């Protein structure tokens, strides 16, 4: 029973078991989920940030348990790392832009964050590649996506500096 619950958690309720591009599906579901959470249910982003930290800590143990007996220590079906990595730029965007309510503008930035995150997650520039290659455990699985998310944050901060 615990193994099934853990599998549902690390695969984001089975999204990770979808064929071909489960990471992209998980990222897209995360973007949609966060838009609904922040803009339909009006959950404050700073409260969600505490939830995200808890998810990160739980994920370290859950992913480790899932990959324990596998030879591939970064299986494609583990997509909770995409949830964490994709959530970081969106959550920080929401904290920085809490007064923006124009849905078109918000959706545009969400789309940009989705595309940038997928580019950095797939291309794996340093240090994303460092964590991916050198840590064959739950820390490496999760940290490469966190770094990809932080790259998106850096691009958005750079954009905000240039346009202000």
Q: Where are the domains of the chain?
A: 20-163
For residue 156 the two structure tokens come to 């958005």
Q: What is the pLDDT along the chain (164 residues), one digit of tens a residue?
A: 899 999 999 999 999 999 999 999 999 999 999 999 999 999 999 999 999 999 999 999 999 999 998 888 889 999 999 999 999 999 999 999 877 778 999 999 999 999 999 999 999 999 989 998 898 899 999 999 999 999 999 999 999 899 88
Q: What's the pLDDT at 99?
A: 79
pTM above 0.85, yes or no: yes
Distance from C-alpha of 102 to C-alpha of 155, rounded to nearest angstrom? 21
Q: Is the dihedral of CA 27, 31, 34, 36 positive or negative?
A: negative
């Amino acid at each position: 029973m615990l193994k099934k619950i853990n599998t549902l958690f690390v695969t984001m309720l089975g999204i990770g078991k979808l064929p071909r591009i489960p990471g992209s599906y998980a990222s897209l579901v995360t973007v949609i989920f966060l838009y609904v959470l922040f803009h339909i249910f009006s959950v404050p982003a700073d409260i969600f940030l505490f939830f995200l930290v808890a998810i990160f800590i739980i994920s370290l143990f859950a992913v480790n348990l899932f990959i324990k007996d596998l030879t591939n220590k970064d299986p494609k079906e583990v997509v909770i790392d995409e949830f964490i990595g994709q959530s970081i730029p969106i959550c920080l965007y929401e904290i920085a832009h809490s007064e923006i309510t124009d849905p078109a503008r918000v959706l545009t930035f969400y789309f940009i964050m989705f595309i940038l995150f997928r580019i950095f997650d797939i291309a794996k520039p340093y240090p994303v590649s460092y964590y991916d290659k050198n840590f064959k455990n739950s820390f490496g699985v999760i940290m490469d996506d966190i770094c990809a998310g932080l790259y998106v944050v850096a691009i958005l901060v750079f954009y905000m500096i240039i346009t202000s």
